[in-house]
Amino acid sequence: MKIVVLDGYTENPGDLSWGGLEALGGLTVYDRTPAGRTGERMAGADAVYTNKTPVTAADMDAAPTARFIGVLATGYNIVDTAAAKERGITVCNVPTYGTAAVAQFTFALLLELCHHVAHHADQVQRGQWKARGDFCFWDYPLVELMGKTIGIIGYGRIGQAVGVIARAFGMEVIAYDAYVSAAESVTLDELLRRGDVISLHCPLTPETHHIINARSIAKMKPGVIIINDSRGPLVDEHALRDALLSGKVYAAAVDVVSKEPIEPDNPLLGLPNCLVTPHIAWAPKESRQRLMDTAVDNLRAFLAGEARNVVNG
């Protein structure tokens, strides 16, 4: 059996092992696959893995032996799943590996906005604490979370995990999800109106594209904080920039943007009240190991005739 990984570097930059896949067949791992070479690299493969490299119908036609495509992620929009089904190719994803990591990172972003820890530590190194002469020193407002309301848009596994952490900080949790009903559920309009913090954890669909836009921001409290470590296009970045500049949005932190890697002219760059990180919420080693283990199990189950985590069944 021939197995090809099209873009293995982000999943495994060298601190994990590909041994689980090597035990199932001959393995070729490419760190990255440039546009136009996907079909060529898939040719002759029985199983193909991709993280963010698009796999089109034409690519599948270049690899007529392929019967399995594994996505090294939860989102699978980079694979033409309908074309795969037409060709008898099973597509599987990894649905739950990053729940704890992404929920934790949500609060890493939020706490940085509340306390500016990195900035103040840097100011100490620059001598500013000593220069002020007081026993304490800060030059950003400091924000306490106790008693504030967090509105979570998307209340699946990750959204619920964020809610658990929020309660530990003494926050009130409200949530909106078109498909999940819970005790915390409110309408989207109520969530926008009541949230001191709004955190996005929903999938990208036609309905959620630009769910944060000029109209939805207008419904929010003055001074709201917005967090997005889900999908970049959930946010109209130009509208968010305008709201950050006006002060309607006190601060924002995003781990994802509309086009990745980020373009130099992205409207969220260069703003003192917007923190942008490079899509790393999912990436702790422990999380990536779970992803690897499930990706291997998906292929093993497929070979045993018991396919799991199938997204084009």
Question: What are the tens digits of pLDDT across the range 178-220?
Answer: 999 999 999 999 999 999 999 999 999 999 999 999 999 999 9
Contact 257, 276 (CB under 8 A): yes
Judge if 124 and 272 occupy the same domain: yes
Can you give the pLDDT at residue 151?
99
Q: Which of 67, 279, 288, 290 is catalytic?
A: 279
Contact 202, 208 (CB under 8 A): yes
Judge if 111 and 233 occupy the same domain: yes
Q: Which of 201, 231, 288, 290 is catalytic?
A: 231
Q: Hey, what are 247's tokens?
A: 């002060």
Judge if 51 and 80 occupy the same domain: yes
Can you give the pLDDT at residue 117?
98
Catalytic status, residue 86 = no
Can you give the pLDDT at residue 174?
98
Residue 80 in domain: yes
Residue 312 in domain: no
Residue 309 in domain: no
Judge if 114 and 84 occupy the same domain: no
Q: Which of 260, 263, 286, 308 is catalytic?
A: 260
Contact 258, 233 (CB under 8 A): yes
Domain hosting 14: range is 2-97+285-303
Contacts of 217 (CB under 8 A, 6+ apart): 239, 240, 243, 248, 249
Judge if 111 and 87 occupy the same domain: no
The parts of the chain modelled with pLDDT lower than 70 are none
Judge if 157 and 45 occupy the same domain: no
Number of domains, the chain: 2
- pTM over 0.85? The answer is yes
Catalytic status, residue 231 = yes
